[in-house]
């Protein structure tokens, strides 16, 4: 069971939108770099790619040699988290990510899961949060944010339900209303989403509909337990 503050359950009942950090939350924090096809083929860089490399190379120690455009960033995601996101969206809860890094791997994962919001390259996460709130019409009380490091604190301090995975930094855990048993990239997001859907009283019906869609079987539901949108 997750570690929760006394008001976490009541806060979870109001949630209509869940926003995740990525590295250390939807992943275990490991970032993989692999050679690009362009590097392998010796293809020239575009002007934009060359400028991006020069900016990154400026921060490297003197004498460090990394060929321009030679690497791509790859992330690994947990299947349980993916199903949790699908279930949340079936229950009418919108889902998105706010992250400082930029990754094609994340863009593809978000597309596959039909995430509602994908904000990459974000330096100030609270501003991105505010923009999403304006777009959705949600109040701060109706959004849950999950992060693992201090860069996430501004958005965690301005949401209705602040969450952290088991691997979160101490400052983040102190600000969280809920800390999952599992670590980022190992089911933490799924644990959070299940907690929210159970608090809203829609978990069992949502799961039943998901199974019915998978097995092509009808599901009979009671009006008293209809999925809240």
CB 14 within 8 A of CB 138: no
- For residue 226, being part of any structural domain is answered with no
155 and 190 housed in the same domain: yes
Position 106 scores a pLDDT of 92
Predicted TM-score (pTM) of this structure: 0.80
Q: How far apart are CA 26 and CA 144, in angstroms?
A: 15
223 lies in some domain: no
The predicted pLDDT at position 228 comes to 38
Give the range of the structural domain holding residue 175, as residue numbers without chain letter: 3-29+77-215
What CATH number did the domain enclosing 136 receive?
3.40.50.1000
The tally of domains found in the chain comes to 2
Strands ordered across the beta sheet of 94-98:
3-4, 178-179, 161-164, 143-146, 17-20, 94-98, 117-119
Q: Do the domain assignments include residue 227?
A: no
Answer yes or no: do 155 and 184 share one domain.
yes
Instruction: Please indicate, yes or no, if residue 222 is contained in any of the structural domains.
Output: no
Residue-by-residue pLDDT tens, the chain, 229 positions? 899 999 999 999 999 999 999 999 999 999 988 776 655 455 555 666 555 555 555 554 454 444 445 667 889 999 999 999 999 999 999 999 999 998 888 999 999 999 999 999 999 999 999 999 999 999 999 999 999 999 999 999 999 999 999 999 999 999 999 999 999 999 999 999 999 999 999 999 999 999 988 766 554 544 433 333 3
Is residue 52 one of the residues assigned to a domain? yes
Residue 224 lies in a domain: no
pLDDT at residue 178, rounded to an integer: 98
Q: Are residues 133 and 69 in the same domain?
A: no
Which tokens go with 148? 């693992």
Q: Does 51 share its domain with 162?
A: no
Same domain, 211 and 101: yes
Cα distances (Å, whole numbers) of residue 50 to 13, 44, 46, 104 = 48, 9, 6, 18
């Amino acid at each position: 069971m997750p570690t929760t503050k006394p008001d976490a359950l009541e806060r979870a009942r109001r949630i209509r939108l869940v926003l995740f950090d990525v590295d250390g939350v939807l992943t275990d924090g490991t970032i993989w770099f692999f050679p690009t096809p362009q590097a392998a083929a010796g293809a020239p860089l575009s002007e934009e790619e060359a400028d991006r490399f020069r900016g990154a190379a400026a921060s490297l120690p003197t004498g460090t040699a990394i060929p321009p455009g030679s690497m791509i960033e790859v992330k690994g995601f947990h299947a349980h988290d993916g199903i949790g996101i699908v279930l949340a969206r079936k229950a009418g809860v919108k889902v998105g990510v706010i992250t400082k890094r930029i990754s094609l791997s994340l863009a593809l994962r978000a597309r596959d899961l039909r995430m509602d919001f994908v904000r990459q390259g974000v330096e100030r996460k609270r501003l991105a949060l505010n923009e999403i709130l304006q777009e959705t019409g949600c109040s701060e009380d109706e959004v849950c944010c999950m992060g693992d490091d201090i860069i996430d604190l501004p958005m965690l301090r301005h949401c209705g339900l602040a969450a952290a995975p088991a691997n979160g930094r101490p400052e983040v855990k102190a600000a969280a209303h809920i800390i999952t048993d599992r670590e980022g990239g190992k089911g933490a997001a799924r644990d959070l989403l299940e907690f929210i859907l159970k608090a809203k009283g829609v978990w069992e019906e949502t799961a039943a509909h998901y199974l019915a869609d998978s097995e092509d079987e009808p599901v009979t539901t009671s009006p008293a337990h209809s999925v809240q949108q």
